[in-house]
Every structure is written in C-alpha cells, then in structure tokens.
Structure 1
Amino acid sequence: MAHNQLKYRKNFGLLIAFVVLVTVLFVVAMLAARSMIANFIETEFNNRKVEIFDQSVQPFNEFFNDKIPEISYYQGYLDSVKAAAYVNDVIRKNAFVESVLFYDLAVTNSDSIESGIKYNHLLIYPKSVISFSLDAENRLVAQRKKSNETRAYVEDFNNMVLKFVGFLDRVNDSTRMSDNDIYKVFYTMSAGKVSYMNIPRISDLLAYKRMMSSADSVIVSYDQDMFLFLINPGKIKIKNVASNLYEKVEILPIVSGQVTDQQFYLQTELALPGALSDYKLQYTSSEGFINKEINRRFLPTSFGLSVVYLILMFIAYLIYRNITINSRLFQLQYDFINNLTHEFKTPVSVIKIAGNNIQSSEKLSVDEQRMYGKILDQEADKLNSLMNKLLSFAQIENKSIKPNKEEVVVEEFCAPIFEAVKLKYPDLNFSYHIDVQNNMIVDSTLLLSVFQNLIDNAYKYSEPQRKFLDIEVQQNKKNFVIKFKDQGIGINKKEFNSIFKKFYRVKNQFNQQGSIGLGLAFCKEIVDFMGGEIKVDSVVNQGTTFTLLLPLGPKKN
C-alpha cells in the first residue's frame, strides 16, 4: 500500500482519450468541410451559367440593339455603295453574321406589276437585292440577286411587308411609336435570321396610308431599306468567365442528331434567345475537373483545420511531456530522499555505535579513546561535507552568494590535491601534467570541490583492474584547459545532456547505492558560476574525459 501511495499518477488514459477525441473531430471536420465545399461548387455550377450566357450573348445583343438601328439614320436613301460600307463594318466586327441581303425597296401607288406585295393601292417591291459576304480571302463580296435567286428568303420579305402594311392601318396624326411597336413592326426574327426595315418618319407613314387608301392620289414613289442578316450561332465567341467550374462550354443545336456514350459528372444548359433560338449553351465538367476545383478550395480550409489539429496535438504532447517530466522528477526526488537518507544514516549509525561503546565502557584506554575520537571526527566530517555540498549547491543555483575569486598559482593549488589522491586511493594509477604560464583567478574552495568530485567519480566508476586517472592542466589563448581522463565504464552519448541535471543518475552497477545525483550538477553550477564551461567526451567501456574551460588570469611575472 505504501508503494501505491508513492506512485505518481500519470493519467495517460485521459490524455489518450483527448487525442482520440480531437483526431475524430478533425477527421469529421475535414469530411464535413469537403462535403460543404462540394455542395457549394455544385450550386455555383448551376448558378453561374447565366454569367457566361450574358457575357457570350452580349456582342449579339449590342449588334441587335445598337448596330442594326443605324439603318434608320439613312431614311431609305442607302445605295449599294453605302450599304456595302455599312455591311462591311457589321460583318467584320461580328463573326456570327455570315452574310447580309440588302433590299432596296420602293413604296408606291403605281399600278405597275412588280414582284412585291400590293395592299389596296399600295405596292411595295424590291428594286434590287444585293447579297454581301466575305470570301475565302476575307474580302467583302457583293452580288446582285435575281428574283429567282431570292425565293428562299421570300417568306422573310413577305412577313416584314405584311407587318408593315398592317401597322399603316393603325397610323394617325397622334401616333407615337414605342419601343415595343418598333420591335414588333420593323424587326422580324426567325431561327438564324434577323430582318430589319428602316423606320420612316411619321409624315411618311401618313403619306403611305393615304396612298394605300386613295385611288386618285398622284403617283409617287418612296424609298425604304430592308436588311436580312443571316446568323450562325456557332460562331458566337464563348466567354468562359468561370473556367474553374466549367470544363467545356459549347454552342450546340437544341435538337442534335449526335448520340454519345460520354457521361459527365455535372451538366447544365441554357437556350439561346431570338434568332439564336435553335441553339443552346451547354456546360459540362468531368468528375476529375470538379474534384480538382474542390481540392483547390478545400486546401486553405484543410490547412487551417490541420494547423488547429497540430496545435491541439502539440498541447497534448506538452501535457505528455509534462507528465513524463513530473513522473521522472518525482522518481528522482524519491531516489534522492532514499539515497540522502542512506548517506546520513551510515555516519549517524557509526557515531551512535561509537557513542554507545564509549558510554557502556567503564574504562577506555588511550588507544581506544584515539580510535573512537578518530571515528567520530571522520563521520562528522562526512556529515559536514554532505551538508556543505547541499547548502553550497542551493546558494549557487539561487545566486545568493558571489564567487570569492583570488589569484591562485596553479602548481600550488594542485599539489596538495594530488598528494591527497595518492594517499586516499593507493590503488589508483594516477598521473598528471601541468603546463601553464598564467595564474588562475578562481574561487579556490569551489574549484577544489569540482576537482574532488571528478577525481572521486573517476575512481568510483572504474573496474578494479582499470582504475586509471590522468589530469592535464594546460592553457590556450583564452582559457585554462583542465582534463580528467579515466579508463572507467564510460557514459552513453544519449546521456551527455542529462548527466549535468539535478538528481539524474546513470543506470549502472555502481549507482545502486550511495549516489544522490548532485555531483556533476554541482560541478556544472560551480564552473558556470565562475564563468567557465564543462564538457564531456566518453566511449562506453573505454573511458571518460571531463574538460574544464576556465578564463585566463593575469600573466605570471
């Protein structure tokens, strides 16, 4: 039960549930976002076709509403030369106009028999019919047509004239022609054809009406112009202003005799108006083309969702790392307390035994007094050394003390340390080499602790048959370089960054008891405290080298 009480609760199950929940939400959000984008694109596919329709048909509308009415400016006085100039401008600017028939009409009350239409006393007939078109070399060609050559267009001529004379019956002095009257009377549209007659003045219309109703009128003749424009809808230029939605936009006959097995993912169409009414605009896109657009629009959304997901995963990782670090810190602190207790318990036990022996003994000899005195003194020194190390480490780490720097002669500083090593560890194969020109400016007490800790580690972490230590003290242009080389068990490179951390202990057979994980951390704090640097280089089962870099002091005299 005590073991369970001390165990650190990691709660990894809750963290895993959080990761799973966030991942599921991420996947659902990605699928939902892509589905919404796909539905939006499909809706846009059906809606934006009107925009392409308007842009593509606009040139035809401008021709119909703006260019054709220019004929009325001439009031029937167009001759073949002026008609050719007009047609040349129209046919070159509007590729969908394949050819134009120009009717030079006569409106008269003469009784002469002409190929035309006579209503009461009014006769309307073409004095000449001229066809205009572009030849293979893109030159305008004018050809005067005979009556038998215009039979295919007789119905267009008849429809226009019959509407005109029907309108004359309704004309009076107060007649004002509206736009609706103009489109109904002077325009005639059928599949592939637009007919237009110039609009006479009201006075001319009244004169035509008198000529039509009176047999005794003086014979007169008026000129009217009529144009028949032959339209090829297939030559209308399609302006695909939504090329990301429509893979193909075509002008096709409404009733097409072609049969195809090709299937499109999305398809829609719009019928063309007026003289283009036998044709339609057809919009088609394949599945691959639409998916490409979906992916293009989905990319920013997926990127945003992924960023949010990664942030949440990073938070989960931070929580996991925090749990792991806290668990490791808990274990280190637990080990620290156990080892520190062991470190204190041993000298305390020895002191207690010595004290009991002294107390229970009725009479102590001089040798016994000296022996117990020496034991008590040694164990007290151990306790004092351990307490001083803990206190110094805390003070240095908290920057509560300042280094007591003094000028130290290197040889004089090292000599007593090296002599003590030989006395303390007689089985240690110890050597050293000193080659410096400057004195060190250091806190000698703190530096002594570093030397003692590194020497003790070299002895402690070496096999009995490989207890070797070589200390080199040299200098370069900037630093004193002090190297501690042993032939011990070595340190794995993965642990180089961890061995200088508090409470960290390398897992090996030498660390089962008696280490609290402060030695190397204490050394690093001291060296950093004095403005230096400590490095480690090691090969497992071959040995370890610790290198101290300390700033140079003044040159020796």
Structure 2
Amino acid sequence: MVSEKDSGYRKNFSLIVTFIGLISVIFILSLFLAYKFSKKNIENDFVSAKANVLEESIKPYNDFFLNKLPEISFYNGYLDSATASKFVDTILMEYPFVTKVTFYDTEVKNDNFFDDGINLGNFSVGMKSVYRFKKTGKKNAGKLVGEGQVKNNTTLENFNSVSFKLINFVQKLDTNKVPSQEELFSNFTNIQPNRIDYFNIPSFEVLKSYKKMVTTKLDDEPTYQQDMLSFQLDPNLIKINNTRPLLYQQVKVVPITYDPLDTSSDYVTGEITLGGPFSDYKLFFISSKTFVKKEIFSYFLPIAALLLLFYSVLVLVAFLIYRNLNINHKMFKLQYDFVTNLTHEFKTPVSVIKIAGNNIKSSAGLSEKEQQMYG
C-alpha cells in the first residue's frame, strides 16, 4: 500500500516537472516571437514614422503658406515700402527658411498700358516700384536692398508669370458665381522651386470690374492697387523636428537627386519628398543598425518583462502545488506510521488477553494437576 502511494506521489512530481519544462519551452518561444515582433514593428515604424517627422518639420511652412500669406490681402493693395518692411520683418523673424522677399507695388489700369507689365485689351497690370528685402543677420530683421535697380529680367519674369495667371483667371471668371477661396488662392499664388509669389486677392466686386475692363473702356478709367510679394525660400533652413530621435539617428534635407556614397549594410536609410516649393528636395533618414537595435530592445524589454512575470507566476503555482503534495505526502506517512505503531502496540496485549481467555475457556477439560500447572 505504501509503495502504491509513493508511486502516486512520484507520478505527481513527474507531472509538475513536465509542466515546468513545458511552460519553459513556451516562455523561450514567446521571447523569440516577441523579439521578432518588436523587430518587425520597429522596421515598419522606420518607414511609416517618416511622414510624421515631415509633417512636424513643415508645420512652420504650412502656417506661413496657409495663414501668413493671406494676410497680404488684408491691405487691399495699399502696401507701401514702409508697411511692407514691417510685414516682411515679421515673416523673416518667424520663418527662418524665408531668406529674401521682393515687394512689387502694382497697379491695374483700364486702357493705360505699362511698358514692363501685361496688357490685354483694355486691361493692364504693371509695376510702379519694386523693393527687395533680405535678412540683416540681426534678429532676422529685414533690410531694404534697393528700389528701382532691382527691376531686372528676373523680377520682370516673376511678375509676369503671376500676372498671366491673374489675366487668365479674369478672362474665365463667371461674374454670376462667387469663386471659392481655394480657387482664388490657387490663381493668385504661383509656386516655383524655392519660391512663392503671391498677389493680394481683391473683392468679388473688383474682380467683376476687372472682367469688364478686359473688353470695355470704362468711362471713369478706374485704377486699382495690387500688391505682389515674392518669397525666396531655402529648404536647408527648415528646422527638422525629429519626433523619433531613438529611431532616426540623423535626419537632413538633401536634394532629390542625393545618393549617399556609403551604401554599407550597417546602415538603414529612408527618404521622403518635401513637396510644394521644396519639391526638388527630400528628407533623408539614416541610422546605424546598432542604433536601431537599441530601439528594438526598448520595445522588446517591456514585453519580455510581462512574459517573465507570467512565467514566474506559473512556476510559483507549480511550486506551491508541489509543496502541497509534498506536505500531504509527509502527513500521509505520519498518519500511516501512527496507525501502524498504534496497531502494533495494541496487538501484543490483546494477544495475551486472547490466549488467557482461551485458556480459561478450555480449563474445564484439564485435570486438577494441569490447572495447578497453568494457573
């Protein structure tokens, strides 16, 4: 009976050992899969997180393009060199990628032609004056470079390219329908590599007057003021906002044709085009594989810690089960030994009593001499 019990407990112990071995194998396999998952996730992040870095890095440009440029229209064409200088100062201080600004003080006339402008029918667009501002190096304030002498082939070409867009828009204008803000913005903005030209957007009533001026000479021969600003941009001055410094070791602005000389397999690279006036440039991302592995481990270690915690709980449960079985085994042995010893201790006197009883029972068949002998 004891051997059967011992055999049962040995079987239970074997089951516990087997259970621990099984969860250990599962734990090691889970660690391996967790590392593979972490590595794959970081590799995917290296590709997908580039868009977030780009978005954060060009936020100042988006603010400049969507919010600051439309402020030019608030002046309704009545900017002068002094007012333009103050306006340009705010741009140069807030947006470091803007390096130069050219201000075209412009008029739109009916029938009065400009020598250095655009003339279509009775509609004429021309420059009165041209001012150029650039950074002085002190607090990025604007400095007036010159007036008049900055009228050259380049400034004339820039001015005419925007004026052509204005005339084409006026020709196609439906005076019965107010154009959308998107339509106005696209037609009064000219985006070129590293440059943005912007005409202030007149009211719809003024646009309808422009439409009439193309084909008709109005009695009052109206003259309208327009302002055009041309912004020279330097993509190399864009401040890179690396939102994943533990993933991207280096992020820089490079020409779209840039091809790194170091094509070693020890590095991971990626790129994403800037777009807009910076379409000839891209963000280039590079990290050493050792650097990326640090990010993989930073992602993997919390998962490994959770797996280790779960594994430890299972091992603890197995230990507690084994300890309880061991205690029960010892209790059983104590109980069995107690019963055995107790039985043995009672067995001897009971046997004596039984023999004596049998003797008494059989005394009737004994002779007197035998009774005296056996008592």
User: Structures share a fold, TM > 0.5?
Assistant: yes
Give how far 1:111 is off. 5.0
Which residue does 1:280 correspond to in 2?
282
Which residue does 1:473 correspond to in 2?
none
For 1:171 and 1:118, locate their aligned partners in 2 and report how far apart those are by CA, in whole Å: 18
Deviation track 1:8-32 (CA, whole Å, cap 9, x = no partner) reads: 5321332222121121222223333
Unaligned runs of 5+ in 2: none
For 1:169 and 1:347, locate their aligned partners in 2 and report how far apart those are by CA, in whole Å: 132
Q: How does 1:90-239 map to 2 (within 5 A)?
A: 90-108=91-109, 109-110=111-112, 114-138=115-139, 139-147=141-149, 150-171=152-173, 173-174=175-176, 176-209=178-211, 211-213=213-215, 221-239=223-241
Aligned length: 365
Q: Which letter does structure 2 place at the counterpart of 1:224?
A: Q
Q: Which letter does structure 1 place at the counterpart of 2:103?
A: F
SS in structure 1 of the partner of residue 202 of structure 2: coil
Q: Specify whether residues 134 and 6 from structure 1 end up closer, same or farther in structure 2 by C-alpha distance, changes over 3 A only.
A: closer
Unaligned runs of 5+ in 1: 370-557
Give how far 1:159 is off. 0.9
For 2:6 and 2:116, locate their aligned partners in 1 and report how far apart those are by CA, in whole Å: 116
Give how far 1:50 is off. 3.3
Measured on the aligned residues, the alpha-carbon RMSD in Å equals 3.9
Q: Which letter does structure 2 place at the counterpart of 1:276?
A: F
For 1:89 and 1:250, locate their aligned partners in 2 and report how far apart those are by CA, in whole Å: 26
Give how far 1:134 is off. 1.5
SS in structure 1 of the partner of residue 240 of structure 2: coil
Which residue does 2:319 correspond to in 1?
317
Which is further off, 88-97 or 232-241? 232-241
For 1:211 and 1:150, locate their aligned partners in 2 and report how far apart those are by CA, in whole Å: 28
Q: How does 1:139-538 map to 2 (within 5 A)?
A: 139-147=141-149, 150-171=152-173, 173-174=175-176, 176-209=178-211, 211-213=213-215, 221-243=223-245, 245-256=247-258, 258-263=260-265, 267-333=269-335, 335-336=337-338
For 2:212 and 2:233, locate their aligned partners in 1 and report how far apart those are by CA, in whole Å: 37
Give how far 1:192 is off. 0.8
Partners of 2:132 and 2:150 within 8 A in 1: no
Which residue does 1:86 correspond to in 2?
87
Q: Specify whether residues 115 and 18 from structure 1 end up closer, same or farther in structure 2 by C-alpha distance, changes over 3 A only.
A: same
For 1:211 and 1:354, locate their aligned partners in 2 and report how far apart those are by CA, in whole Å: 148
Partners of 1:246 and 1:284 within 8 A in 2: yes
SS in structure 1 of the partner of residue 58 of structure 2: helix
Q: Specify whether residues 220 and 343 from structure 1 end up closer, same or farther in structure 2 by C-alpha distance, changes over 3 A only.
A: closer
Q: Specify whether residues 132 and 14 from structure 1 end up closer, same or farther in structure 2 by C-alpha distance, changes over 3 A only.
A: same
Give how far 1:231 is off. 1.3
Q: Specify whether residues 98 and 40 from structure 1 end up closer, same or farther in structure 2 by C-alpha distance, changes over 3 A only.
A: same
Give how far 1:228 is off. 0.2
Deviation track 1:368-399 (CA, whole Å, cap 9, x = no partner) reads: x9xxxxxxxxxxxxxxxxxxxxxxxxxxxxxx
Q: Specify whether residues 264 and 110 from structure 1 end up closer, same or farther in structure 2 by C-alpha distance, changes over 3 A only.
A: farther
For 1:38 and 1:158, locate their aligned partners in 2 and report how far apart those are by CA, in whole Å: 54
Give how far 1:194 is off. 0.5
Q: Specify whether residues 19 and 159 from structure 1 end up closer, same or farther in structure 2 by C-alpha distance, changes over 3 A only.
A: same
SS in structure 1 of the partner of residue 225 of structure 2: strand
Give how far 1:132 is off. 1.0
Q: Which letter does structure 2 place at the counterpart of 1:107?
A: V
Q: Which letter does structure 2 place at the counterpart of 1:190?
A: Q
Which residue does 1:36 correspond to in 2?
37
Give how far 1:352 is off. 9.7
Instruction: Give the structure with the higher percent helix.
Output: 2
Partners of 2:130 and 2:151 within 8 A in 1: no
Larger Rg over CA atoms: 1
Which residue does 2:14 correspond to in 1?
13
Deviation track 1:225-274 (CA, whole Å, cap 9, x = no partner) reads: 11001112232333344445544443332222542235576544332231
Which residue does 1:56 correspond to in 2?
57
For 1:291 and 1:131, locate their aligned partners in 2 and report how far apart those are by CA, in whole Å: 50
SS in structure 1 of the partner of residue 96 of structure 2: coil
SS in structure 2 of the partner of residue 224 of structure 1: strand
For 1:325 and 1:120, locate their aligned partners in 2 and report how far apart those are by CA, in whole Å: 109
For 1:278 and 1:35, locate their aligned partners in 2 and report how far apart those are by CA, in whole Å: 37
Q: Specify whether residues 86 and 5 from structure 1 end up closer, same or farther in structure 2 by C-alpha distance, changes over 3 A only.
A: closer
For 1:122 and 1:81, locate their aligned partners in 2 and report how far apart those are by CA, in whole Å: 28
Which residue does 1:457 correspond to in 2?
none
Give how far 1:71 is off. 1.4
Q: Specify whether residues 176 and 340 from structure 1 end up closer, same or farther in structure 2 by C-alpha distance, changes over 3 A only.
A: closer
SS in structure 2 of the partner of residue 136 of structure 1: coil
For 1:297 and 1:283, locate their aligned partners in 2 and report how far apart those are by CA, in whole Å: 20
Give how far 1:341 is off. 6.1
Q: Which letter does structure 2 place at the counterpart of 1:174?
A: N
For 2:273 and 2:291, locate their aligned partners in 1 and report how far apart those are by CA, in whole Å: 24
Give how far 1:75 is off. 2.1
Give how far 1:174 is off. 3.0
Give how far 1:204 is off. 3.9
Q: Which letter does structure 1 place at the counterpart of 2:108?
A: V
